[in-house]
Structure 1
């Protein structure tokens, strides 16, 4: 049962990260800001998502 739960949580986390990346890509921020936010989200998924939630581009 541990593998199924871990796999499901991993899938949910992947969906959240993809959603955040799409929100960054569609935002009105500059190209450099978008690239930096996407790199942060990809390289530091947990911390990057928390930082993006509070400080990321809005809109």
Structure 2
């Protein structure tokens, strides 16, 4: 998602014009965060988290 209004930059302190991956559960808790490009292992972990959250919700 593109943060054109810079809400996440201002409120969460994320770097502007950066690749930040944030996975948030249905309660609003951050369950995964990575600044920058994901490694293959990080991609697998993020996908596993998404799959688990989808299956359990």
Structure-2-length-normalised TM-score: 0.31
Looking at secondary structure, tell me which structure has more helix per residue: 1
- Greater relative contact order (Cα < 8 A, sep 6+): 1
